[in-house]
Amino acid sequence: MSLKDKRAVVLGCSAAGGSGWAIAEALAKAGAKVLVAARRLEPLTQLAEKIGGLAQACDAADPHQIAQLAHTAQEAWGGLDIAVNCAALPVMGLIAESEVSPVQQALDVNYLANVHFVRQMAALMGEGGSIVLISSSSASQVVLPHFAYACAKAASDCLVRYAALEYGPKGIRVNSILPGPIRSDLSRELFEVPGMEDVFAREVPLGRIGLPEDYADAVLWLCGPAYVTGLNLPVSGGNQLTRSPRLDELPQAEASWQENS
């Protein structure tokens, strides 16, 4: 697929080997000009140099910084064709133990950031524009103890459908992908637990957990001329047909999430 001279923003791609990083690389390889953004500028600079793009620090939870990111794209290229938001905050905990602050953080990064991202990026787009949000299979498939994260992602999936109707008449498509379990920088510690990856892979019909490149391929298709909008696309090797492992099935899982919650 060629995206030659398309102008793209990818937010949330500072982790080398992560899905955001892989998506930015795939867009650049297809010919797009890419502005990469995340809270940490140093690794972004390395990525931008590698793909011949631009880099800017941006906290997804700050609507003013998202607006500044859009301004940079406007100043650099005069508009935008592709926008992908990969930023996420995997807040963990049970409802019975929840407090206001972490739940609000989950909403700020995993839902409200997408509202601001869609609004700001769509304002720079014309016919053929494509916005892709990275959701999670936990939005439709219960994965304890991620209720705050999952509920925020479910709200973003609803946002996708509303945005698709609102921006469709302008020729702008809005979609999301729902990754299943993935081997990436964000999940490195989880899948370093002996036996953990096998437990998740048993629930995936294709027999393995996902890789960043799997999600990059899906995003690349949605950013091309696909006749698709308002779609929450499972990209999970078929895991949406089965289930996620229960807490009591995960080796050392309960101790692990309690330490990080």
Residues with Cβ < 8 Å from 256, sequence gap 6 or more? Answer: 189, 190, 193
216-220 contacts, C-beta under 8 A, 24 or more apart: 216/19, 216/22, 216/23, 216/25, 216/26, 217/26, 218/177, 219/23, 219/26, 219/27, 219/84, 219/132, 219/134, 219/177, 220/1, 220/3, 220/23, 220/26, 220/27, 220/30
Rounded to 5 degrees, φ, ψ at 180 are: -90, -155
Give the bridge partners for 159, in sequence order. none
Structure tokens belonging to residue 83: 């926008």
Is 215 in the active site?
Answer: no
Active-site residue (options: 149, 162, 167, 227):
149
End-to-end CA distance of the chain: 41
Residues with Cβ < 8 Å from 193, sequence gap 6 or more? Answer: 250, 251, 252, 253, 256
d(CA 88, CA 182): 14
170: Cα separation from own chain's centroid = 24
| DSSP per position, 33-59 | EEEEEES-HHHHHHHHHHHT-EEEE--
Give residue 67's identity as a one-letter amino acid code.
A
Looking at the annotation, which residues are catalytic?
149
